[in-house]
Amino acid sequence: MAQPYFEGSHNAALYGHKNCSVLREVIDIDVRKDSLEDHLYTVFKVHYHLQSNNEVDLPLLFLALSWSDTHVIKVNGKTISHLPLTTANVQEFPFITKGRMENKEQFYQAAYSKNESITVKLKDLLYFKAPLHKGTNDIYIEYRADFGFQTYGFLKNYRLKYSLYPSKFWQSFGPIAVNLHLNGLAEITQSNLGKAKIENDVVKWQLSSFDNNLDITINHRTNLLGKALLLIQPIGMATLAFIGLSIAHAMLFKRFKRTRNWIFWLGIFVLPALFYTIFLFSYDVIDHVLGYSSRHGYVFLSVVTYPLLVIVYGLLFAIWKRKHRNNESPILS
């Protein structure tokens, strides 16, 4: 059985330097949809407005774990390339410490929060030198990242985490603007960023405290019918249908007196079979309404309870049948 949760990318602010200050950071999170797999992913577009006291080539580091290979780095409007990170120059960064050796490959620990670090390889860290001039500077980084999400169930609960802990390694760090562009594809489920302002399908936050990392959960946008079906779930759809079929069974039993025995036995075997048929088929119906496919594990194993449902329904219908016959007029019975 596949993993029930896809971990997604690890995202973090730019690991800084004590010789420079970040005046402001703007994080644009652009939600997009993979047309082949129906999954949502995001493109980060991050602007750093820096203040440098000197003209300097500033070594900077970005966590690039589980990124795509395509990314853009611009310093003051000029595109630059990242540099190879080696065991020598990684020592410039005190927040990267040497970890275990496994299969002749060295692993490192990168600080991700005050009490948390993650295991990385050197290739998971994007290293570059920013040619800064004295005064204000602009660094722009764009990259694709994957949400963490549940691989089973109708709701994927796409979760995005972004560590603000690296901001502590700068001389100072100004406010952060977070703009989540939903693009008609998603709706926000929850976040730890407080009250947001929503304009033109963009959710906006202004942050001045960096004690907590960004934690945002979104889901595919659904219409009212989709929300109703998610509330009812397949078991609810099958149960409602079963109740309706049971009423029809009882009405047929009362109307056709000469074939009551056939109706009784046929119903107690056919109705449970229809219940499970509707139950299994409803997954496809909900997927169709939601507009994307989902996985639900070994749902088909639920049909092993068919004999139990036949027995329970048969007993209940037999009790009702006895009460109904007792209430019938002797002349009509």
pLDDT per position as a tens digit, 30-72: 999 987 777 899 999 999 999 988 888 888 887 766 566 678 9
Q: Please give the mean pLDDT across all residues of the chain.
A: 85
Per mean pLDDT, which of 81-85, 139-143, 210-214 is the most reliable?
Answer: 139-143
What integer pLDDT is reported at residue 328 of this predicted model?
A: 62
Flag whether pLDDT at 236 surpasses 90.
yes
Residue 131 pLDDT level (bands cut at 50, 70, 90)? very high
What integer pLDDT is reported at residue 146 of this predicted model?
A: 86
φ/ψ (deg, to 5) at 125: -115, 125
Out of 92-106, 169-183, 197-211, 236-250, which region has the weakest mean confidence (pLDDT)?
92-106
For 95-126, write each residue's pLDDT tens digit.
Answer: 788 888 887 788 888 876 667 777 878 877 78
**Amino acid identity for residue 314 in this structure:** G
Per mean pLDDT, which of 94-103, 130-139, 162-171 is the most reliable?
Answer: 130-139
* DSSP per-residue codes, 97-164: EEEEEETTEEEEEEEEETTEEEEE-GGGEEEEEEEEPSEEEEEEEEEEEEPBEESSSS---EEEEEE-
Q: Which residues on neighbouring strands pair with residue 217, listed in sequence order?
A: 159, 190
φ/ψ (deg, to 5) at 250: -65, -40
Percentage of the residues of the chain whose pLDDT score is greater than 90:
43
pLDDT, greater one: 299 or 104? 104
Out of 116-130, 202-216, 245-259, which region has the weakest mean confidence (pLDDT)?
116-130
Residue spans of the domains in the chain: they are 5-220, 224-327
What integer pLDDT is reported at residue 2 of this predicted model?
A: 45
- Contact predicate 157/90, CB 8 Å: no
Two structure tokens written together for 64: 């690039």
What integer pLDDT is reported at residue 57 of this predicted model?
A: 87
Two structure tokens written together for 148: 């963490």
State the pairing for strand pair 40-52/20-33: antiparallel
What integer pLDDT is reported at residue 66 of this predicted model?
A: 59
DSSP3 helix / strand / coil % (the chain, rounded to 5)? 30, 40, 30
What integer pLDDT is reported at residue 64 of this predicted model?
A: 65
What integer pLDDT is reported at residue 117 of this predicted model?
A: 77
Query: d(Cα 44, Cα 158) in Å, to the nearest integer?
Result: 15
Flag whether pLDDT at 195 surpasses 60.
yes
- Contact predicate 139/45, CB 8 Å: no
Percentage of the residues of the chain whose pLDDT score is greater than 70:
91
What integer pLDDT is reported at residue 8 of this predicted model?
A: 66
* DSSP per-residue codes, 41-95: EEEEEEEEEEEESS-EEEEEEEE-TT--S-EEEEETTEE---B---TTGGGG-TT
What integer pLDDT is reported at residue 149 of this predicted model?
A: 82
Which candidate, 241, 266, 240, 263, places its Cα nearest to that of 252? 263
pLDDT, greater one: 48 or 84? 48
| CATH, domain range 5-220 | 2.60.40.3680
What integer pLDDT is reported at residue 225 of this predicted model?
A: 94
**Reported pTM:** 0.80
Out of 12-16, 156-160, 304-308, which region has the weakest mean confidence (pLDDT)?
12-16
Out of 43-47, 75-79, 150-154, 279-283, which region has the weakest mean confidence (pLDDT)?
150-154
